[in-house]
């Protein structure tokens, strides 16, 4: 894989095609669609959420429900759109429980996260972002450190094998469950963390002093950072 010099879009499409038929964990039995991820794979910024919800499962696209609308709003406030970043999740199929005949989302189990990790590993290895934003505690525990305390450690910078800079922010679904001042405060923290991530990309670029030619397909998003 690493010595493969095909364009990264092609490599990613190949991994996606394999993920689409994955049956490595029991979530495969209840999913409608595998939600692999989308956006600009040449972006220096990757956002990683928890897992698909109802709308995502129905459409096969990440963050298209209410949490997605809030993420779009926060991205816009941070001067970005979805086309400037790549968005995916730590698990690619919806985790839910049936309650009174209705499916309710639940956090993925550690076994499900482990089973799905090779897909995320492949994505991040191909994309090689400069900065990763983890949304919520399961993503942060998976990509930053185990026992991550989202309330204490969000907004702090870490590093991992996939990116020089990794930050965790509050998950939009969590923010939607808050009211009044708590809602405002948590939403502001998400916007702040996204702004910090955008600034961090610029800072790393300056440090690395990369004046590499920009491929035409990446040109629009590159101007942002």
Interface residues with ligand URA (CB under 6 A) are 35, 49-53, 56, 62-63, 67-68, 89, 173
The secondary structure of residue 28, as a DSSP letter, is G
- Comparing CA positions, the residue from 32, 188, 224, 218 lying closest to residue 127 is 218
Q: Quick one: which of 61, 82, 92, 154 contacts ligand SF4 (CB under 6 A)?
A: 92
Does 91 interact with ligand SF4 (rule: CB under 6 A)? Answer: yes
Torsion of CA 63, 69, 73, 78, to 10 degrees: 0
User: Binders of ligand SF4: how many residues, by CB under 6 A?
Assistant: 15
Single residue of 11, 12, 15, 34 touching ligand SF4 by CB under 6 A: 34
Q: Name the segment binding ligand SF4 (CB under 6 A); options: 7-15, 26-34, 150-158, 173-181.
A: 26-34
Dihedral sign of CA atoms 191, 197, 200, 202 in order:
negative
**Min separation Cβ 26 and ligand SF4, Å:** 7
Distance CA 88, CA 39 (A): 9
121 CB neighbour count, 10 Å cutoff: 13
Minimum CB–partner distance for residue 81 and ligand SF4 (Å): 27
Q: Which does 129 bind (CB under 5 to 8 A by kind): ligand SF4, ligand URA, none?
A: none
Q: How far is the CB of 172 from ligand SF4 (least distance, A)?
A: 21
Nearest to 35 by CA among 84, 87, 76, 110: 87
116 scored as a contact of ligand SF4 (CB under 6 A): yes
Residue closer to ligand SF4, measured from CB, 61 or 92: 92
DSSP H/E element including 86: strand 86-89
Q: What angle, 0 to 180 degrees and rounded to 10, lies between the N-to-C axes of helices 66-77 and 180-208?
A: 50
For position 113 contacting ligand SF4 by CB under 6 A, the verdict is no
Interface with ligand SF4 by CB under 6 A: which residues?
Answer: 19, 22-25, 27-28, 34, 91-93, 112, 115-116, 119
């Amino acid at each position: 894989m690493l010595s493969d010099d095909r364009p990264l879009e092609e490599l990613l499409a190949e991994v996606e095609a394999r993920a689409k038929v994955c049956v490595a964990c029991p979530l495969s039995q209840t999913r409608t669609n595998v939600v692999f991820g989308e956006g600009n794979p040449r972006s220096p910024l990757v956002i990683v959420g928890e897992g698909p919800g109802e709308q995502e499962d129905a459409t096969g696209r990440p963050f298209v429900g209410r949490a997605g609308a809030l993420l779009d709003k926060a991205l816009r406030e941070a001067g970005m759109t979805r086309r400037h970043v790549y968005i995916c999740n730590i698990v690619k199929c919806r985790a839910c429980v049936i309650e009174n005949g209705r499916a309710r989302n639940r956090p993925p189990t550690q076994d499900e996260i482990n089973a799905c990790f090779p897909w995320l590993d492949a994505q991040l290895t191909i994309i090689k972002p400069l900065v990763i934003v983890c949304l919520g505690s399961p993503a942060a525990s998976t990509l930053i450190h185990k026992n991550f305390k989202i309330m204490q450690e969000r907004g702090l910078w870490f590093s991992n094998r996939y990116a020089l800079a990794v930050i965790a922010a509050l998950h939009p679904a969590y923010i939607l469950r808050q009211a009044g001042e708590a809602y405002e405060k948590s939403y502001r923290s998400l916007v702040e963390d996204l702004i910090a991530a955008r600034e961090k990309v610029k800072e790393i670029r300056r440090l690395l002093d990369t004046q590499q030619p920009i491929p035409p397909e990446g040109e629009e998003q590159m101007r942002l950072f």
